[in-house]
A and B are shown apart, each in its own frame.
Chain A
C-alpha cells in the first residue's frame, strides 16, 4: 500500500460542533479544509491536547467533507477526557492526515467490520465504496445498543447495517465476527477497524473465506509520524512492504517490525505475523 503523508501538516482548527452520541462517546467537528482536501479513507490524525500536558491522541478521521472534518471517540482515559471537554469555538491542533489508509479497489461486494470505536475509521471507506457502486454491508458490534452510535448514518449513506451486541440487547447476541462468519454472502473484500482481538478474529474468518482483508490497527502511539518505532507490529519481510528494512537474509528473520503509524495503520491481513 502506498505511503502517503507529505501533504500532512499541523492544522489550527476551530471546533464547529460537538455532540455527545452516547454516554462517553463524543463527536467533534472542526473547520479544516486543507485537511479534508488530502484526507484518505482510513487516515488518522494526532490531536494535540489543549493543555499540552500529555501526549497527543491518535484518532481516526470520521467525516471529511468540504471544510469540515470530524473525530469520534470514546472517553477512556485522561487524554480523551480532556478532548471531550472542548467546546464549540475553541481551537485544537490537529496533525495529519497520517497513515496509508484503506485501498479502495474495484470490488463489487464489500464487507466492513467495525467494533466499538472502530466505527470512527470506516465511514470514509464506506462512502468511497458506495460511490463506486459497490454493495457495502456494515457488520457493527458493540457492548450494548446505546454504544452502536451512528448506525443510522451508515444506513443513510447506503450501507446495509447488521449489528451485534455483547449483551444481546440488539441484533446478534455475541461478537460481530461470529456474525461475519455466519454470513450468507461472501464479500470480495473485508475492511475492518476495532480492538485487536476483533481484528485477529476478522483475519481468521477472512482466511477461512479466502477473502482478502484490510485491517486498520490500533496501537499505543507516541509520535504517530514514524519517528519513534514504538507502535510496531510484526509483518512479513518483503521489500515491497517494508522498503526501509534489510531483506530477510541480512536481517536474520523473515519478519520485521513495521510501524503501525507509518507503514500502516492499514495492513493486509496476510502481511501480518501476529
Chain B
C-alpha cells in the first residue's frame, strides 16, 4: 500500500535522556570534539544530537606530559590527563561562547572527591548554555583517584547523589569498562539519581617503545578507543541495559551505521562518537542517514523501536513499552 512506504526523511531518530530531548541520537564524545567550534568548519552541527564538552575540574589542570597519543591497531591510546582551565576560568571565559553553537551542549565534570564533583557540577549546571551534565567518573588517565569512583559501587552512588542534589538538569553518568561487574555500578548510579548512563569510557592500555625500552605515553598508561574496543562496549551496553531502566548512551569504536545498530540493539537509546571523527568528520551525519535508510527499508518509523531488541527473551521489559513495530 502506498501509505506504508516510509521515506528515510520521515524516520524519527530523536531520543530523550531524562528531561533532555535530542533531535538526533548522536552525541560527540567528551574530549574528542573540543567545544564543537573546532568541528564547525567541517560539519553542520545542527544535524548532530549534542556535543559533550571536554571535562572540566574544580582546579586548573596542566594535563599529562607528552606524548599523549599513540596510534595502535584498530584504535588509539590516549592519556590527555584532563587538561582544562578550571571551573572558575571556564565559566568566566568559555561557557558564554557555547550559546552560539547550533547544537545542544552537554557539560562534562570530572573531580577527585565527592565534594569536587558537587561543586563543579552545581556551578556548571547553573548556566543556561549547558543543557545537561555528564559526570566523568571514569577517566583512566589521572593519578589513581580519577577512575576510582566508577570502579566502586558505593563511591559511584556517593558522587551521583551529591551531583544530583545540585541540579534538576539531565545527569548522565559515564561508566568505566575497567571493572569486574559493570551492571552493579550501573544499578548504583541509577538508584542515586542518574538520568542516563554513558557506556563506556576508554579501556586501560599500554604500549612500549622497544627501541627506547620505555612506555610510549608520557603517562605510562592510557585509554584505548576506536574499533578495537567495540565488542567490549557492545557487551557492556548489553549488560547494563539488563540491569537498569534509564537510557544508555552507547559508545566505543562506532564508525558506521552498522556499528551503531549493534549498540541500539544491545540496549542503547543513543550513541556517542569519538575516535571516528578523527578518521572523517563526516561520520556522524553519515551514520544518521544510513540509520534512517536501514529503518525505512524495514518499515520502521522510529529508531527507538529497535532499542534493546537483541535482548529479547531477557529481563528488560521497559525497552519494549509503546513498541508498535
CB-CB under 8 A from B153, the residues of chain A are none
Does residue B215 face the partner (Cβ distance < 8 Å to A)? no
Does residue A132 face the partner (Cβ distance < 8 Å to B)? no
Minimal beta-carbon separation of A166 from chain B (angstroms): 17
Does residue A192 face the partner (Cβ distance < 8 Å to B)? no
CB-CB under 8 A from B22, the residues of chain A are none
Minimal beta-carbon separation of B273 from chain A (angstroms): 12
Contact residues, A187-225 vs B (CB, 8 A)? 219-225
Minimal beta-carbon separation of A232 from chain B (angstroms): 6
B277 closest partner in A (C-beta) = A223
Given A228-B278, A231-B69, check contact A9 B78 (CB 8 Å). Answer: no
Q: Which of B38, B54, B78, B80 has the most CB of A within 10 A?
A: B38
Whether B42 pairs with A222 at a CB distance below 8 angstroms is no
Whether A220 pairs with B80 at a CB distance below 8 angstroms is no
Complex Cα distance, B41 from A221, in Å, reads 18
Contact residues, A170-188 vs B (CB, 8 A)? none
Of A46-54, A106-114, A146-154, the one touching chain B: A46-54
Whether A55 pairs with B62 at a CB distance below 8 angstroms is no
Whether B68 pairs with A230 at a CB distance below 8 angstroms is yes
Whether B78 pairs with A228 at a CB distance below 8 angstroms is yes
Whether B76 pairs with A222 at a CB distance below 8 angstroms is yes
Size of the chain B interface, CB-CB below 8 angstroms: 36
Contact of B279 among A6, A54, A219, A256 (CB under 8 A): A54
Minimal beta-carbon separation of B272 from chain A (angstroms): 14
Contact of B69 among A230, A233, A234 (CB under 8 A): A230
Q: Which of A219, A228, A234, A245 has the most CB of B within 10 A?
A: A228
Contact of B280 among A7, A48, A221, A253 (CB under 8 A): A48
Given A245-B85, A246-B85, A250-B86, check contact A221 B69 (CB 8 Å). Answer: yes
Whether B277 pairs with A230 at a CB distance below 8 angstroms is no
Complex Cα distance, B85 from A245, in Å, reads 6
Whether A225 pairs with B39 at a CB distance below 8 angstroms is yes
Complex Cα distance, B63 from A255, in Å, reads 12
Does residue B60 face the partner (Cβ distance < 8 Å to A)? yes
Hey, what's the 0/1 contact readout for B67-90 against A, CB within 8 Å counting as 1?
111110010101010010110010
Whether A232 pairs with B63 at a CB distance below 8 angstroms is yes
CB-CB under 8 A from B279, the residues of chain A are 48-49, 52-56
CB-CB under 8 A from A231, the residues of chain B are 68-69
Contact of A223 among B32, B86, B89 (CB under 8 A): B32
Minimal beta-carbon separation of B244 from chain A (angstroms): 30
Whether A10 pairs with B69 at a CB distance below 8 angstroms is no
Complex Cα distance, B33 from A49, in Å, reads 20
Does residue B282 face the partner (Cβ distance < 8 Å to A)? yes
Does residue A252 face the partner (Cβ distance < 8 Å to B)? yes
Minimal beta-carbon separation of B144 from chain A (angstroms): 20
CB-CB under 8 A from B68, the residues of chain A are 229-232
Complex Cα distance, B86 from A262, in Å, reads 21
Does residue A130 face the partner (Cβ distance < 8 Å to B)? no
CB-CB under 8 A from B299, the residues of chain A are none
Whether A6 pairs with B69 at a CB distance below 8 angstroms is no
Does residue A95 face the partner (Cβ distance < 8 Å to B)? yes
CB-CB under 8 A from A246, the residues of chain B are 60, 85-86, 89
Interface contacts beyond A54-B279, A55-B278, A257-B66: sample of 11 additional A-B pairs, CB < 8 Å, sorted by A: A8-B41, A10-B42, A48-B280, A95-B42, A220-B69, A227-B277, A229-B63, A232-B63, A234-B66, A244-B85, A251-B85
Pull 25 A–B residue pairs with CB atoms less than 8 Å apart, ordered by A.
A7-B41, A49-B279, A54-B71, A56-B278, A56-B279, A219-B67, A223-B32, A225-B34, A225-B41, A225-B42, A226-B34, A228-B34, A228-B69, A228-B278, A229-B63, A231-B68, A232-B68, A234-B66, A246-B85, A250-B86, A255-B62, A257-B62, A257-B63, A257-B83, A262-B38
A-B pairs, top 8 by smallest CB distance, nearest first, are: A227-B34, A230-B69, A226-B38, A227-B38, A246-B89, A220-B69, A222-B278, A246-B85
